[in-house]
Every structure is written in structure tokens, then in C-alpha cells.
Structure 1
Amino acid sequence: MISKRAAPVSLKADTVLINGNIITVDDDFSIPQAVAVRDGKIVGAGKNAEIKPLAGKGTRTIDLKGATMLPGMNDTHCHISDWALTRPPFMLETRFPTVKSIADIIKMVVDKASKVKPGEWIIGEGWDEGYLKECLADPSRKPSREDLDKVAPDHPVILTEYSGHRSWVNSRALELAGITRDTPDPVGGRIGRTGTGELSGLLYERASMAVREKIPPWSYEQRKTALLNAMAELNTLGITSFTDAGTDREKWACYNDVYNESFREGRWTCRVNMLLMLGGFGKTNLEAISEAYKYVGARYNFGDDWLKVGGAKLVADGIPPLKTALMWKSYLDGTSGLLVTEGNTLEEQEQSLREMIKIVHANRMQIGIHSCGERTIDIITDQYMKCLEADPWDARHYVIHSDFATPQTIRKVAEFGRRTGRSLAFNVQSPIKWTISDFMATVVGPERAAYHWPLRTMLDAGAKVANSSDAPVIYPDWRPGIQGAVLRESKATGKPSGPEQCITVQEAIRTYTINGAWLDHKENTKGSIEPGKQADFCVVDNDLLAIDPHKIVDLKILMTISGGRVVYDAGVL
């Protein structure tokens, strides 16, 4: 008898996958043995005996040999068009463990300076003082412009921290940007200074924009090549969908061009959801958004299953590790963070943020807002709910990052969704928690650090939660994310951080699959292995539901299938 998950026997498949441990992520989390695919979609899932009859003479049969197959993974918040350009040959790779000290980074800069033309920019990305030997030995030691001036005085240098919210620059870069010791801090940013008022070479939040504007843009060909390479690398990680959060005009055009040029060649291998950065990176404000909507008529879900506009991205505050996320309760140093929106006072900045939300909502675009601090999260969720009460539609607005969402706000958001049928969501980054949990105790204290990214509280309240990497902040790999969400143990020391906020493996898988599909307004077409949905699969060498959770990060990706086509094959099956 054919399983209720299988298609009629008369329908022959292009591909059948048999002898597997298939985690469907359907409502019952059922585990069939086999799946059939036709024209890029799933036409059956069930026992081997039920699926094998769907094979015809031209059907490809893939023997999974007991391997575990999941839905293709969905990284719901990342910056792939940026991540694609953050590694050699485009930029210096200053991320741990490639570098372990300031001295290692300086050696890279020396080498690069010897190979480029006089006066050419030296650009890098990824450093984290929590992993730099000199900073660990002396917490007061920070990267400085003097470090860079000694080895590259004639080259402007900018090295962006892993988070993207702080830059390390030299004197030449500051000179080109017109930043002096007398330059005031910009709204939404801070210029690092020494105890004597001299420029330190560290720029926080929007203070980096004056330097970034002086960097020559990447060529179009560089962007296109990097984007296709990035998709291929994502496939090696089992990723078949992602949201590029912060797509400006140039990036949107690049995605469109690469799609038009490469899709028929089979080189476009991921489903891409774009959040538009209306006004451009670092320039999103009320005036820019109002002006953009005079000419942009796209609504949410504009596009197809492979490339679409999901909505708009806004940035509200900074990040907790730099103490720039806006909090109700202060950091250990007594500061409370900031908003990065327009305005001369905090009240004016909040009003500007609320007005931007109203405009985007009225123009029928889903909104994702970078919001880390508890106070910022309270502001945007309150405004989301007010907009949906006054003008209800299926927006699925969400909080990007959600680091310190309070239990009260989480409950309020979940209850609003149940009452109105218009749910909001929290987007989180469990792999970052895995990476920085020890450091956060020095920023907010051990108790608040343990609460950081309260997934258990969110799920118990019935809130929608989707997981992600925020690449290039961290490498776009879902395995540390699932392990981190399940164990909440430090990558560096193994020390637990808020074990009461641990979630189950099943719940963690959902945050990378069906929950992400819901956030994309695509839960009916992807995110689980069920007939009628897209044939997007990730095959790994062990059973996530049975192995020691400490070994999840070591799972090997054996095969990735996107739209029914094998886009990565490790050569094992």
C-alpha cells in the first residue's frame, strides 16, 4: 500500500533517493526511507518499496546508503554579496584561526603592501579582539592606527571587525576621509580616541562611512564572479536558500544580471531572498526611503522561486559586544548604547525609526530591522504591532538579531500573533553565540550573558524563530548553529552559557528549515520534504537526532540537491 506521502505509481520520477534516514521536518517529523523527484519537485516520500515503483527507465537512482537527508538549509540572515568579496584575492582574511594575533595581521599587511601599487587601498575583514593574543594578555590593548602606520604609511588601510560594526584604519585612511582629532562623532557613530584625545584608529558604527566612501568600488565582473563562487561554496555546506539582508541598488542589479546570465547554464544554485537597503548602505533614513518609494513599486515576494525581493532592511542600533546596542539596563561600563537613525536626540531618533517602519509597511514590504538591544527591540516590535493593527496584511515583519529581547516583549509578540493571526518573528544567530559567549560576560556580566539569545523563552512563548549566520560576521555554516542552540557551550572553552535556554535538536533543525521558509513567505513550497515542495536536500553522514550533540559540528556534507539537481557531491554516494 502506498504511503500517504507518496505520489501515484503512474507518475515516473526523474530521480529517486533510497535507503536513507530522511528527516522530513513535516508536522510529525516523520522519517521515511526514500523520496521521488520530478521536474524539480518532490512527488513522493515513503518506504523504499513504495517509492521504487516511481522509477522508470530514465530515472536516476541515488542510494543514500543509510545517510541522513534533511531539507536544504536556509540561512535567513546573511550578506552573501559582501561575504563573497571578503576573502583572498579580494580582501585579507583576518579571521581566527587564520590569524591569532595583531602581529599576524601586521605580517599580512606588510606582505600585501609589497604586492600592490603605491597608494592602493589595503582591505581586510574578520578580526576579533577576543581571539587576538595581545588583547587577551592585556584587555586594555586594542588594535591601533600606529600598528598599521609603521608598516603601510603610504597605503590607506581598513580592516573591518568580524561584526562589520567596527573598523581599524591607519592615518592615511583617516586623512583621506577628512577625520581629525577635532572631528565630532557623527550621529549613530563614534570615533575612537585615546586618553589624550588623539585618534585611535578605531571607528564605530556610522563613523566608518566617511572612510568607506573613499574606497574604490569593486568592478561588476569581480562582483559577479565572486557571487557565483559563493553560491557554489554554500552548496558544499548543504545550503540551498539564503536571505541577503541589505541589498542596495548595485547588489540587486548584480543578482539580476547573474541570474539572467547563469540560470540556464545551471550555475545559479541557491534560492535568494533579498531585503533591499533603500537609500544605500549606511544611508537609510526617512528622506531616502520616502524618495525611493516614489520610484520603486516592488512589493514583498516580487520575483520567483529562485530570486525575489522579500522586503526592506533597516538598521536601528549597534551590537552588544561593542556596547552600541541600545539597552534599558546599562553595560558594565555604565553606557547604554545608541540608535543609529537620524535625529539630534534619542527621542528624535526613535520617532524617525517609527516613521520609517510606517512608510515601508504602507508600501507592502516585509521589514527586517537590525535590533540587538532590549530597548531597540521594544521600540520596533511595538511599532510593528501598531502598524499591523491599523493596516493588517501578511507582512511577517521581524527582528534581526534579537539578542536581548526581554521575556515580556517575547510574550507580547507571541500573544499578538495568536490574537490577530499576524505573527512577527525573531531572527537569531546561534553560531555567533557559540563564538562570543565567554566575551559577553565581560560586557554585560555573567547573568545577562547567559540570557543572550533566549531561544527557549522564545519557543516556549510560541514565537516564530529563524536561525542564521550573519555572514561575513561568521562563516555561513548551519552545523555550529544547531550545535550551539542545543548545547549553548563556548566554542573556545566549552563553558556553558545559559543552559536553561537550550532547545532540542528537532527545534534547532526547524529554525534552519521550515521556520526560515515561513519567514520567506515560502512555507508552502520549501522548508520540509513533502510532496509538492521544491526538491532541495542536504545529505549528511550521520543522524542528527541520534548522535552526541557535541559532534554535530563535525558532520560531513555528502551531497546537496537544489531544485532536483545535484549541485554538490562529495563523491561518497
Structure 2
Amino acid sequence: MPTPRPADLVLTGGTVLTFDARDREADSLAVAGGRVVAVGDAEAFIGPDTRVVDLRGRTALPGINDSHLHGAWLGALWPRTLLGSAPVGHAEPSVTDSAGPLVADAEGRRKAILHAGDIAARLGITSYTEPGLGPGEDDGPTGCFGSAVLDEYAALAAEGLLRARVTVLRLFGELDGPSSPDAFAKGLTTAPPQAVPRWLNVTGVKIFADGIPPMRSAWTHHCYPDGTSGRLLVDGDHDPDREANLRAMIALAHRAGHQIGVHATGDRTIEVVVDALADAIAEHGPAGRHYLIHGDLVPPPVLDRLPDLGIGLNAQPCIAVTTAPWLAAALGEDVLRTAWPLREAFERGVRVCLSSDAPVLTPDWRHSIAAAARWLGLPASRVLMRRLLRAHTVLPAHQDGAEDWKGTLEVGKAADLCVLETNPLDVAPADLPHVGVATTIVDGRIVFDA
């Protein structure tokens, strides 16, 4: 056999969780040119210039992919979070409650994005999705969601300064606010900044279909204490007009080949969104990797439809646990018992990605896994931990349309890794937040080392 090309980096003396189709494990891994070149038997790739890292019994797994994280907002606000100081029993405040812009100029935008990269590196996050940047927020009160933020991402990516891979959904309405069909259609005709392969990719658009139940702004079949049932955030004089406009926006984006992420929390909203996506798919064929964002009150019949339609669900377990009392206050305990049906989604084979929505709450995915296990109410097991870890690694890569080159540790794939002090499969989910992140590697480069 020919002598293998020497690796740039070799990890040895620990456990490597590949999360490939067979869930194989190894004791070493070799990296060259930013890609994995060997899983197991990596010592054969050690050359005179290879950096060799002794894991000392630690565990390497694919880099964490936070599939719904507001990077610029996180970088500007951290270590504060939106709900970190909210009194118990109060609903989620709007992002527009900020007193003055958090970032006001190009220097501030760059600083916020770079800070988000530092935060991600310390947590083992190697990819994340910015779910909503665009002209709809160019005059927004925080300065964290406008077109200039996307332009700054593009500049940093071109300069090679991003510390995590970023996927972006464009936003043509207001964050947590109304969307105009005309503005949406106009926005789709504009070209996003040029992608930087494997570092910055604009995959589609985000639509705010409704609000959230605690704010009495999710559109639902139930009644809030004041007798209302919420409404769609799309422009229109009456419910049928708003529904028709939402359907038209979804059809337009789908026909143009864009991925669509829809913020939809009320059961009535979710039914309309999935109907509209199904109609678009039936008429124009599959396109993009569409998904529901949050899906608080997703009904069981809708869950049944999602796998066949290829529609995913992006949920935030920490938000579910934190805001459950607020949802109960808004809609009652009976509705709460059916909210965020993660177990049912898993059982039906729905493609479920778990994420943080930081800085609404912490970007620490270890807390997300602990919260998910608590919400599921299942006993701790290696099977459960694998499923929850895959929802933070493998499935988000699929959401990004990048499962062929990232999300698992296999030969030829991106060398994006998170190294933990302890094997997570040997830890109860409730104890995972106490397991330290030892090292983060992106594209074969160590970006954090505790």
C-alpha cells in the first residue's frame, strides 16, 4: 500500500463519535486540508509536521450546528439574553423593546459578528443559521437584522475571518412583525451577496406568519383570555385576505427555488402554512428544505404530513421549558399538554432540528439537550442522547443542504469537531451542561482550546 499523505492534525487516545449511518466509533482521527482523511488508524498519517493531539480519554463528535441562532444579535447582547431577566409569568418581550440600537455602524456590526464567533467557538459550535437578515429590518431598532449585517457577514467570509460556517435566510418583512406581499415579491428579485462556499450560504427566506402564544399573537383555534384568537402577521384587512397573501408568498418563494423557513406557532397558522407548502410542492415539485420554525402548537394531523412532504421542524427546547407557564396562562393547561409535541414528532419520523434561538436564551446546546430530555419525559439512555445529539449536528446539516460534506465525521467530510471532556453517551442529559467543551475545530483548525 502507498504511504498515506501526512496529516495536518491527528487526534488520538480518545473516542470519536462519527454519527455516520452506522454510528461507528473510533479511537483516532486524521485531518488534512480541512477534511477528515482517516477515522481510526490515524497514526499512519503522522508525519514530521503533523500536529498530534492526545485526547487523554476525551470524546470528539461532529461540530455543533445551531440551526436557529441570531449571531449578530447574540454578539451584540451577550452575556445578556432576552429572557434572562424576564420576571416569571411575563411573556417574551419583543426585540423592539431595546432602548436604542445595539449596533449602529459597520464597526459595530463587525464586532458583533466576530463576538458571536468567539461565543460559538467556546461552545463547540462550528455552524449556525442566521434566521432572518434583510431590508425589512434596515430601519430596525436593534441594528442586528438589516441588509448591512448580511453584507458584513459576506465581507468577513471573503476575508477568511468567520470562525463558524453561516447559513442565512433573508427577511423581507419586519422581525416579529408584518410582511407585505409586495415587499416580499420585490425582495425575491434582489440578489444576495455572493456566497463563500462552505462559509457563507444564503439558502432562502424567512416568513413571520404569526407571533407567539404568550403574547396572544399566535393564530389559533383556541381563545385567549380576552376572547381573541390571534391573527396572521401578513398584511390584509381580514383573515381570508391575510391567508391568501401568505399562501401567495409561499408559492412565490417555492417556485423561485428558495428554502422557506416559516415562523409559525399557532395551530391554525401551522395548518395554513403546511397546506400552502403542500400545494406549492404538488404544483411545482420539491424545492429547498422547507421547515416550520418553533411549531409550538403543531397539531398531530400536521405532524403526520410532514415526513412525506419533506418539511422539517426546528424547535427550541429551552424556550419550551422556560415559557410553558406563560403559554398555560394564555391558553390553559389543556393546550399546554399538547404543545411542543417533540416525542410525537420523533416517533413519526419528522426531521427535527433542535436549536437555541439565542440570544432569546443561552446558545449553550448542552442546556438545549437537557431541556429536550426533560420535555420528552424519557429515561436517560445512550439511544436518547444520540438522537438529541443528531438533532444538533446531523439533521441541521441536512437543513442546510450540506449533508454531503458536513454533519458527520467521515472520510472526505469537513473537519468540524467538538471535543468534550467526557463521552456524552455516558452522561444523563440533565448532567450534560456540566460536561466541559475542551476543544473546537473548524475546517481542521483549532479555534478554541480550553
1:280 Cα offset (Å): 5.8
1:11 Cα offset (Å): 2.7
Distance 1:217 1:239, change over 3 A: closer
Counterpart residue identity of residue 371, structure 2? G
- Give ranges in structure 1 of 5+ residues lacking alignment: 3-7, 97-125, 131-135, 137-141, 143-160, 170-211, 418-422, 489-497
Matched ranges for 1:492-503 at <5 A: 499=377
Report the counterpart of residue 71 of structure 2 in structure 1: 80
Matched ranges for 1:440-455 at <5 A: 440-455=327-342
Distance 1:255 1:31, change over 3 A: same
Q: Distance in 2 between matches of 1:259 and 1:69?
A: 26
Are 1:285 and 2:180 matched, yes or no? yes
Report the counterpart of residue 349 of structure 1 in structure 2: 242
Q: Distance in 1 between matches of 2:192 and 2:157?
A: 21
Distance 1:18 1:245, change over 3 A: same
Q: Distance in 1 between matches of 2:334 and 2:30?
A: 49
Report the counterpart of residue 164 of structure 1 in structure 2: 94
State the secondary structure of the residue aligned to 1:526: coil
Q: Distance in 2 between matches of 1:26 and 1:332?
A: 48
Match among 409, 430, 433 for residue 550 of structure 1: 430
Are 1:224 and 2:154 matched, yes or no? no
- Equivalent pairs, count: 435
Distance 1:483 1:398, change over 3 A: same
Report the counterpart of residue 196 of structure 1 in structure 2: none
Distance 1:166 1:447, change over 3 A: farther
- Per-residue CA deviations over 1:28-51 (Å, capped at 9, x if unaligned) read 2222111110100001112xxx21
1:433 Cα offset (Å): 1.8
Q: Distance in 2 between matches of 1:355 and 1:307?
A: 28
Q: Which has the larger radius of gyration?
A: 1
Identity %: 32
1:393 Cα offset (Å): 3.2
Matched ranges for 1:21-170 at <5 A: 21-46=15-40, 50-87=41-78, 93=80, 127-130=85-88, 164=94, 167=97
State the secondary structure of the residue aligned to 2:253: helix
Distance 1:451 1:23, change over 3 A: farther
1:501 Cα offset (Å): 11
**What's the TM-score, normalizing by structure 1?**
0.72
State the secondary structure of the residue aligned to 1:84: helix
Contact kept? 1:72, 1:527, Cα under 8 Å? yes
Counterpart residue identity of residue 517, structure 1? A
1:163 Cα offset (Å): 5.3
Distance 1:168 1:393, change over 3 A: closer
Contact kept? 2:82, 2:359, Cα under 8 Å? no
Matched ranges for 1:422-437 at <5 A: 423-437=310-324
**What's the TM-score, normalizing by structure 2?**
0.90
Report the counterpart of residue 541 of structure 1 in structure 2: 421
State the secondary structure of the residue aligned to 2:447: strand
- Per-residue CA deviations over 1:442-461 (Å, capped at 9, x if unaligned) read 33333432332211111111
State the secondary structure of the residue aligned to 1:533: coil
- Per-residue CA deviations over 1:272-307 (Å, capped at 9, x if unaligned) read 000001256446321012222333378xx9541000
Report the counterpart of residue 152 of structure 2 in structure 1: 254
Matched ranges for 1:468-479 at <5 A: 468-479=355-366
Are 1:275 and 2:173 matched, yes or no? no
Report the counterpart of residue 220 of structure 2 in structure 1: 327
- Per-residue CA deviations over 1:3-38 (Å, capped at 9, x if unaligned) read xxxxx8523211110111222111122221111101
Contact kept? 1:164, 1:473, Cα under 8 Å? no
State the secondary structure of the residue aligned to 2:357: coil
Counterpart residue identity of residue 433, structure 1? A
Matched ranges for 1:199-238 at <5 A: 218-238=104-124
Contact kept? 1:279, 1:292, Cα under 8 Å? no
1:339 Cα offset (Å): 1.2
Distance 1:94 1:412, change over 3 A: closer
1:216 Cα offset (Å): 9.2
State the secondary structure of the residue aligned to 2:419: strand
Distance 1:444 1:410, change over 3 A: same
Q: Distance in 2 between matches of 1:438 and 1:297?
A: 40
1:162 Cα offset (Å): 5.2
Contact kept? 2:254, 2:287, Cα under 8 Å? no
Report the counterpart of residue 189 of structure 2 in structure 1: 294
- Per-residue CA deviations over 1:506-565 (Å, capped at 9, x if unaligned) read 111111001000000001111111111100001111121112222112111111000000
Contact kept? 1:314, 1:367, Cα under 8 Å? yes
Are 1:16 and 2:13 matched, yes or no? no
- Per-residue CA deviations over 1:153-178 (Å, capped at 9, x if unaligned) read xxxxxxxx855367388xxxxxxxxx
Q: Distance in 2 between matches of 1:429 and 1:17?
A: 32
Are 1:511 and 2:397 matched, yes or no? no
Matched ranges for 1:405-420 at <5 A: 405-414=298-307, 416-417=308-309
Q: Distance in 2 between matches of 1:412 and 1:295?
A: 33
Q: Distance in 2 between matches of 1:27 and 1:384?
A: 29
Q: Distance in 1 between matches of 2:277 and 2:82?
A: 36
Report the counterpart of residue 354 of structure 2 in structure 1: 467
State the secondary structure of the residue aligned to 2:431: helix
Q: Distance in 2 between matches of 1:84 and 1:481?
A: 19
State the secondary structure of the residue aligned to 2:23: coil
Distance 1:22 1:438, change over 3 A: farther
Q: After alignment, is 252-261 or 352-361 more displaced?
A: 252-261
Q: Bigger relative contact order, structure 1 or 2, given CA contacts below 8 A and separation 6+?
A: 2
Distance 1:43 1:519, change over 3 A: same
